[in-house]
Structure 1
């Protein structure tokens, strides 16, 4: 029998796609989200209307930083599997509003861990980030690399999540898996991400801000590849081994870093427009490159992301154009 699954952050970019995919597979899915205003809330409601409601997925409005709300949701739904994607995202915003990261990414994650412990959840899959690798100069980034020098508070909270999960897995024998996502993009994505904001500005004839001469490299990973990795890992938790808890961490990235200036050139081709560039210095909290070693992922579930950037950006362009009749996202 299919097991009830909780997806936190279900109105978010990755969460809405994961919840929809699990429902399509026949699972009973419940979602939750706090619908905060980090970016336009209407986009979150639109995701719910387009991706969740047609599949019968309920998305509860709640704050995971409220332990009582988390306990009540677990008590009502009794999830056997949990995909925890709710978090305060964004590297640069963590410099402006650090309290939001402490509440959501630390207090909120602690509440999820406690609820999983009380209900003996069979597997907790949680979002980490490629940001945990900091300014690592050894590439590609492997899960065995040191990750104890974060260069942003966001990265520090994600590294903390991995440590918290490991300790709970060790103490209570609960299977837990951390996912280090690498620069996710695609339809229904976040407006604060470069590919989204660049598209909006290029089509409006506005200059786009480009940092560090466009030399920064990012491992752009298409949303469908992210979902495929998440779903495969959800149903294949790490087993406990002698001296080791049932906890694992996996990179989910495209294994093909692209310089931002080359990314812009590809986006120009896809949009058939030239970009005007506003050159700016490297920003605090940014890292020179992200580059995923996906051998562990491929060995464990027989899959690794591979969608070409031009194909993924074309799919985003088509979605963006389909929403052109809507009020602009500001």
Structure 2
């Protein structure tokens, strides 16, 4: 199958593209290599794929003419590209243009692909709001510009499924961790600061926040499981993540255990819109996609520490 992966240079997009390659698919990627974080890290993510012959196009989905840039003979589209996370440096315009306009342009392109079997939107647990413990039919209550715009993007995709114009589904991911996690995210920053004896900026009160910290390999298992299940997943939303809950403090302690050292904490003011609790309800994915994440928090952290040391230490 010929598969287009948007945001292929990012954390989860790059892992998914590599899995698709290992399954024998022909993968084409597109990424705008945004300077949201170090572009060289994104190019490092792409290095192995380029060596295997993957075509990676450098293009911004916010530009209208995608049909003149992207191939029309793709069978699947996995849409990861987005303005990620909750960040004080990102404006509403950043979230709006990347998450809504970019998705709308990609949909318009997808409708011109005659072989398209399924459009897979990559959503987020932030769509649910401050508490993300619910099944997929729970009314969303996003509490950040990120969550609001990702919900809008999801609904733009699902609209086309409801209208019968293309088959589509959306996957809401929960607190993904592991090798290639973005540098400003919790675990990469914890590992970096621990190894370099720097204090970690801990948001006030966040040590008690609960999370479904899910290993990226387990997330990718769920993502690729939609291939061949177009009839089952069309028009559906699925939560993907682990059912195991851990506090932020337990996450810190896991990193300290793997590093064999304590990490100094520097408490900073709370971050607006930060979720208080995420616990993936995966009953639907387990039933329809045989989804069954197994990697423990400690195993995930060990893998991420090994990756960090191999590339940055």
> TM-score band (shorter)?
over 0.9
Q: Secondary structure at the match of 1:234?
A: coil
Q: 1:14 Cα deviation (Å)?
A: 0.8
Paired positions, count: 311
Q: Could you list the per-position Cα deviations for residues 277-309 of structure 1 after superposition, in whole angstroms to 9, with x for gaps in the alignment?
A: 112343101111111001111111112222101
Match of 1:243 in 2: none
Does the 8 Å contact 1:64/1:109 carry over to 2?
Answer: yes
Structure 2 counterpart of 1:90, from 85, 89, 94: 85
Alignment of 1:129 with 2:124, yes or no, is: yes
User: How does 1:111-260 map onto structure 2 within 5 Å?
Assistant: 111-120=105-114, 121-136=116-131, 140-147=133-140, 149-213=141-205, 214-239=207-232, 246-260=234-248
Q: Secondary structure at the match of 1:200?
A: helix
Match of 1:73 in 2: 69
Q: Could you list the per-position Cα deviations for residues 217-270 of structure 1 after superposition, in whole angstroms to 9, with x for gaps in the alignment?
A: 111111111111111123312459xxxxx3111111111121101110111001
Match of 1:279 in 2: 267
Match of 1:7 in 2: 5
CA distance in 2, matches of 1:234, 1:189: 25
CA distance in 2, matches of 1:45, 1:96: 22
Does the 8 Å contact 2:111/2:165 carry over to 1?
Answer: no
Match of 1:101 in 2: 95
TM-score, structure 2 as length reference: 0.95
Deviates more, 1:276-285 or 1:6-15: 276-285
For the aligned residues, what is the CA RMSD? 1.6
Note the residue ranges of structure 2 that are not aligned, 5 or more in a row. Answer: none
More helix by share: 1
CA distance in 1, matches of 2:100, 2:223: 22
Does the 8 Å contact 2:171/2:237 carry over to 1?
Answer: yes
CA distance in 2, matches of 1:253, 1:232: 14
Q: 1:77 Cα deviation (Å)?
A: 4.6
Does the 8 Å contact 1:175/1:239 carry over to 2?
Answer: no
Does the 8 Å contact 2:61/2:105 carry over to 1?
Answer: yes
Q: 1:64 Cα deviation (Å)?
A: 0.5
CA distance in 2, matches of 1:77, 1:261: 47
Kindly report structure 1 stretches of 4+ aligned residues shifted beyond 4 Å: none
CA distance in 2, matches of 1:36, 1:170: 32
CA distance in 1, matches of 2:296, 2:38: 28
**Relative to structure 1, is the Cα distance of residues 283 and 151 closer, same or farther in structure 2, using a 3 angstrom cutoff?**
same
Q: Secondary structure at the match of 2:119?
A: strand
Structure 1 counterpart of 2:25, from 21, 24, 27: 27
TM-score, structure 1 as length reference: 0.90
Match of 1:328 in 2: none
Match of 2:59 in 1: 62
CA distance in 2, matches of 1:123, 1:71: 18
Q: 1:140 Cα deviation (Å)?
A: 2.9
Does the 8 Å contact 1:229/1:252 carry over to 2?
Answer: yes
CA distance in 2, matches of 1:158, 1:238: 24
Q: Could you list the per-position Cα deviations for residues 122-158 of structure 1 after superposition, in whole angstroms to 9, with x for gaps in the alignment?
A: 100111100011023xx732111110x2110000011
Note the residue ranges of structure 1 that are not aligned, 5 or more in a row. Answer: 241-245, 326-330
**Relative to structure 1, is the Cα distance of residues 268 and 72 closer, same or farther in structure 2, using a 3 angstrom cutoff?**
same
Deviates more, 1:188-197 or 1:167-176: 167-176
